[in-house]
Amino acid sequence: MCEYRSFCSLLFLALLLGCTSGESPYRFYDWNVTYGDIYPLGVKQRGILINGQFPGPLIDSVTNDNLIISVFNGLDEPFLISWNGVQQRRNSWQDGVYGTNCAIPPGQNFTYILQVKDQIGSYFYFPSLAFHKAAGGFGGIRILSRSVIPVPFPPPANDFTILAGDWFKQNHTDLKAILDGGNDLPFPDGLLINGRGSNGNTFTVDQGKTYRFRISNVGLTTSINFRIQGHKMLLVEVEGVHTLQNTYDSLDIHLGQSYSVLVTADQPPLDYYIVVSTRFTSQILTATSILHYSNSAASISGSLPGGPTTQIDWSLEQARSLRRNLTASGPRPNPQGSYHYGLINTTRTIRLANSAPVINGKQRYAVNSVSFIPVDTPLKVADYFNISGVFSLGSIPDKPTGAGAYLQTSVMAADFRAYVEIVFENEEETVQSWHIDGYNFFVVGMDGGQWTPERRLNYNLRDTISRCTVQVYPKSWTAVFVPLDNVGMWNIRSENWVRQYLGQQFYLRVYSPANSWRDEYPIPKNALLCGRASGRRTRPL
């Protein structure tokens, strides 16, 4: 183990010494993943810690930085980390999900080599296998703009990351056993803010100054609403896009989503509640933290500020109010509005309908009647080595068929540089949250009822936001435009982790026949090989 890590260090040092002075900076991280006792809701649980921390360490970076993250798996089961929202340009090899990477075996190490190419914004990482996410192992990712790129607001006095979401008191192995037995999970036991229950965190501010809060919903099953007692929130960024700076009293944040707001400490010098509560649930769960004025003379008091509970229309109207700041620069100096997404003709329409079938007597979830099941070899690895029998292109239809649901390792084929319309259709009574790895997409429309081609007449083709995770309301649809400019094997999944685990996901294989490093990086030299790829070679060291 030590020899391997020393070799990797020497390899990276040689790489650095060979770089030109114009190459983007490197940031190095050594992570030790272990079990540990945690008490987030006052009950002892077996958590997953990174360097002894729950949640894990914050990744601070700048646009185009190279991130070298050495992960040692100290658990007694295989482990992977994925990077929610990091696009892995030309490099799905580093995505850290079942379809792209062999798991890190217990007692072994794997080094991720990522670049946050042409990205800014707020994201998070999480463990992607075996329902590990219910035990922790997640943390924040912050990608700052380069110093030469103007940002459409003054530098905040401080920059806070908030990871919030629902939580269960049972260990992740018990929850996994419930799902493996063909059953759904019970209602969550509570909400956490940065790994703690109510009033477990304090954020200290100076009166008169403005602060940035980056909020991500890292939960398993529920949407949340975020608000701060007595304070307005100025929205400035959604998953890497600078927004029109609208003011909100509270924000709905659906599973897997991330937002940035500016909050000015313009109230009397007291302590105030930061509140997170569940949305669209019959029982409302709440967790609080404290916004503490540094010159406060009084402790927290008063009732919690109220928020929306089950109202769908309220949330839909708020979602439609999110707009792109057309004049602001993104990760590059050109204005965000210079990409005229609405003037490009789409080349294909993909319609995706979620469902909740029972298959072989067990609860499953499906996309277009196909419930995803893993096999022993990552799809990307099998594709590279041309290993037959692992998956078949076209094993999931690109529109609902109404057929009975079935189990399949589902992969959909797509062409590099296609410009695709994807319509998420939700006939169920619950809110859905969909994520696409490797991309940001333009959210051009969402509404209730059935989607038809006539709905395109009401698409926002001028200033909608682009993001990587989007909600679909009950009995509703959401339409997005996706420029398929990133070759690779990309996971499209429900961010409801129960539904994802039980099959509501598939992979999109975006293919270029050029076989060129210009389109896609080759398999990493340190790639782990498993299943039917065991014993093969990656590339010569």
3-state secondary structure 245-289: CCEECEEEECCCCEEEEEEECCCCCCEEEEEEEECCCCCCCEEEE
Return the pLDDT at 195. Answer: 98
Count of the separate structural domains present in the chain: 3
Q: Is the domain of 374 the same as that of 429?
A: yes
Residues 119 and 231 in one domain: no
pLDDT in tens, 236-278: 999 999 999 999 999 999 999 999 999 999 999 999 999 999 9
Give the alpha-carbon dihedral of 324, 505, 531, 129, to 10 degrees. 70
**pLDDT of amino acid 117:** 97
Distance CA 512, CA 230 (A): 53
DSSP state letters, 60-87: EEETT-EEEEEEEE-SSS-B-EEEET--
**Same domain membership, residue 294 and residue 348:** no
Q: What is the pLDDT of residue 21?
A: 41
Instruction: Identify the CA nearest to 280 among candidates 238, 193, 217, 323.
Output: 217
Q: Is residue 149 part of a domain?
A: no
| C-alpha torsion 442→448→449→455, nearest 10 | -40
Residue 432 lies in a domain: yes
Q: Which of 157, 261, 247 is nearest to 209 (CA)?
A: 157
Distance separating alpha carbons of residues 131 and 173, to the nearest angstrom: 8
Instruction: Write down which residue in 88, 117, 144 finishes a domain.
Output: 144
- Domain co-membership, 125 together with 237: no
Name 173's bridge partners: none
State the pLDDT at residue 12: 45
122, two tokens: 């707020």
Domain final residue, candidates 268, 296, 321: 321
Tokens of 167: 């939580």
* Pair (445, 491) in one structural domain: yes
Name every residue whose Cβ is closer than 8 Å to that of residue 415 and which is 6 or more positions away in sequence: 347, 484, 510, 511
pLDDT tens readout for residues 291-345: 999 999 888 988 999 999 999 999 999 999 999 999 999 999 989 999 999 999 9
User: What whole-number distance in Å separates Cα of residue 456 and Cα of residue 343?
Assistant: 13
Examine residue 3 and state whether it is found in any structural domain, yes or no: no
**Do 346 and 475 share a domain, yes or no?**
yes
Q: Which domain holds residue 94?
A: 26-144
Same domain, 180 and 234: yes
Residue 6 confidence (pLDDT): 40
List the Cα angle 78/127/276 in 5-degree steps: 150
> Of 144, 170, 199, at which residue does a domain stop?
144
Residues 354 and 468 in one domain: yes
HEC-encoded secondary structure of 156-192: CCCEEEEEEEEECCCCHHHHHHHHHCCCCCCCCCEEE
d(CA 218, CA 193): 10
Q: Is residue 541 part of a domain?
A: no
CATH value at residue 483 = 2.60.40.420
Give the span between the Cα atoms of 384 and 373, in whole angstroms. Answer: 20
Q: What is the rounded CA–CA span in Å between residue 437 and residue 88?
A: 9
Q: Walk across the sheet containing 109-115 and list its strands.
A: 45-50, 26-38, 66-73, 109-115
> Does residue 482 fall inside a structural domain?
yes
Does residue 103 share a domain with residue 38? yes
Q: Phi first, then psi: what are they for 474, rounded to 5°?
A: -60, 140
Residue 122 located in a structural domain: yes
pLDDT block averages, 10 residues each, the chain of length 541: 42 39 86 98 97 98 98 98 98 98 98 97 98 98 97 98 98 98 97 96 98 98 98 98 98 98 97 98 97 93 93 98 97 92 97 98 98 97 97 97 96 98 98 98 98 98 98 98 98 98 98 92 96 89 53
Per-residue model confidence (pLDDT) at position 22: 61
For CA atoms 46, 286, 81, 179, the dihedral sign is positive
DSSP 8-state assignment for residue 95: S
Do 394 and 251 fall within a single domain?
no
Domain-located, residue 11: no
Burial class (CB in 10 A: 0-12, 13-18, 19+), 389: exposed
> Are 199 and 290 members of one domain?
yes
pLDDT at residue 13, as a whole number: 39
Q: What is the pLDDT of residues 54-106, one digit of tens each?
A: 999 999 999 999 999 999 999 999 999 999 999 999 999 999 999 999 999 99
Residue 314 tokens read as 């309220």
The two structure tokens encoding residue 296: 């406060």
Q: How far, in Å, CA of 19 to CA of 25, rounded? A: 10
364 and 473 co-located in one domain: yes
Residue 489 within any structural domain of the chain: yes
Specify the long-range contacts of residues 383-389, CB closer than 8 Å, at least 24 apart: 383/489, 383/509, 384/523, 385/533, 385/536, 387/532, 387/533, 389/532
What was the pLDDT predicted at 202? 97
Among residues 479, 149, 155, the alpha carbon closest in space to that of 346 is found at: 479
